[in-house]
Amino acid sequence: MRIVTATAVALALVVAGAPAAGARQPAAAAATEGIWRTDGYGTVLSIRNGTLQEYQTTAVSCLEGASARRTGPDAYTRTDGTVLTVRTRGDRDSGSVRADGDVGERNLRRIAELPGACEHQGPRDSLAAFDVFWQSLEENYPFFAAKGVDWHAVRDRYRPRVHAQTPPDELFAVFSEMVGPLHDAHVAVRDGDRIFAQGRPGTVQPDGTVDARAKEFVVERDLKDARNLQDFANGRITYADLPGGQGYLRISGFTGYAASGAPYAAQPAELDRALDAALGRERGRPPKGLVIDLRINGGGSDALAVHLAGRLTDSPYTAYSKRARNDPADPTRHTRPQPVYVTPAQGGPHYTGPLVLLTGGSTVSAGESFTQALMDRPGRTVRIGQPTQGVFSDFMVRTLPNGMEAWLPNEEYLTRSGRTFDGTGIPPHLTEPVFTEEEFAGGRDSAFDRAVEVLRSQP
């Protein structure tokens, strides 16, 4: 399951420091004062007197989200250190909001006042929670037709089972049954410590146990004769030099590289430390070929994924474009596609040679956006293994009236030709089994062996 990134991080705001009362506002801050609606995302932002307040809206609800305080001319900072930048454009009736570490921004349009539903508190019971839950997916989820799910029929079936006093356990079960047939790992229901999410059939969701088992197998079997075996980024990244001169880079996620509470800048810095070692700074030359192993990758920050791609090219190119659903009544209407670029990183060695990417059904979210970012990489990139999970969008987190949460995707990631891989995942060029019980039992790693064979066959 994706660690909450652009959607949840950008707008799940909490109070931080603020200017002293009565202090004169900078001109940039004054320009952003007012009420703003985001294109897509069902969100309204109110910026008044140094405070940014989020409102999550649907046709049946307006729920107050978290808030933040201004910490710079354009900046609003949450207590975990994430910085939001809010700016106006042109006539100052349009603008943008971007989260520290995000790969894109959200467009803002100034509106005269808060929606009427935001001015009063609605009911907080289980029936109200049901209605907001259903409506949130109805207005924002892009994939009902592709999944073959009639969401209106789902409401007709389940709403009679819910009343104002339905216990939380029963409501959680109802919500889980409603979204289960979507088989979408980015659709989740949360009630305290309980989370329900269900991925594509035949795949295994990455977690600590799955990751530890795969890593132990790889180290003992694939890397037994390797040199310079090193762990980086709190163990999320492993590098080794293979006997034939190729490099092996295992990445189990695009998050958690630095200490908890560290500013975002600490994350790419730790990633760069690993890449400096992997791409040749310490030995003075790059590897003859490179295997990047994403077969168990739980996702995280798309920005870190794009940062890594920037170390694998000397030429800029477009990684993908992303768009969000932008009409509550029409799932075919979207925001304008926003391109995400791979720019060659400044400083540190680059690797531009042949590359093999290992993927599987446990390659999820930012692991998949990284895979997509390499599809148009200059130079040869070969994908080996199994299709990825098929979930790309950032999480859209909706707080329900009773305190539960619904997590859902509302974005599509597009290739240059306009294709998406949601649901199906990105297929490999060469198909091999990935961490099956038969492979474990037989001491085989067919995908890794094929990768080494492909690289050694390069001129």
Q: How far apart are CA 358 and CA 400, in angstroms?
A: 39
Please give the full DSSP string across 260-305, using - where no structure is assigned.
Answer: TT--TTHHHHHHHHHHHHHTTTTTTS--SSEEEE-SSB--B-HHHH
Q: How far apart are CA 172 and CA 406, in angstroms?
A: 11
Per-residue model confidence (pLDDT) at position 284 = 67
Name the residue among 410, 406, 388 with its Cα closest to residue 397: 406
Task: Give the mean model confidence (pLDDT) for residues 317-328.
Answer: 96
**pLDDT beyond 50 at 13:** no
Taking the CA atoms of residue 218, residue 222, residue 227 and residue 230 in that order, the dihedral angle to the nearest 10 degrees is -10
Residue 24: the pLDDT is: 43
Q: Is the pLDDT of residue 281 over 80?
A: no
pLDDT one-digit tens code per residue, 126-151: 999 999 999 999 999 999 999 999 99
For the segment 55-104, what is each residue's pLDDT rounded down to a tens digit?
Answer: 999 999 999 987 889 999 899 987 667 788 999 998 889 999 998 878 98
Residue 412 β-bridge partners: 323
Assign 3-class secondary structure to 114-130. Answer: CCHHHHCCCCCCHHHHH
Contacts 24+ apart (CB under 8 A), 171-178: 171/126, 171/129, 171/130, 171/402, 171/404, 172/196, 172/404, 174/130, 175/133, 175/404, 175/406, 178/133, 178/134, 178/154
**Burial class for 28, CB neighbours closer than 10 Å (0-12, 13-18, 19+):** middle
The sign of the CA dihedral 279, 282, 287, 290 is negative
Q: What is the pLDDT of residue 180?
A: 97
What whole-number distance in Å separates Cα of residue 31 and Cα of residue 45? 14
pLDDT at 60: 95
**Cα separation, 241 vs 230, whole angstroms:** 10
Q: pLDDT grade, residue 26 (50/70/90)? A: low
Q: Can you give the pLDDT at residue 278?
A: 87
Backbone phi and psi for residue 400, each to the nearest 5 degrees, phi listed first: -90, 160
State pLDDT tens for residues 360-403: 999 999 999 999 999 999 988 999 999 999 999 999 999 999 99
Q: What is the pTM of this model?
A: 0.90
From the CA atom positions of the chain, what is the Rg in Å?
Answer: 23
Instruction: Find out whether 32 and 47 touch, Cβ atoms under 8 Å.
Output: yes
Q: Report the candidate in 168, 63, 187, 176 with the shortest Cα–Cα distance to residue 126.
A: 168
Mean pLDDT of the chain: 91
In tens, the pLDDT along 404-418 reads: 999 999 999 999 999
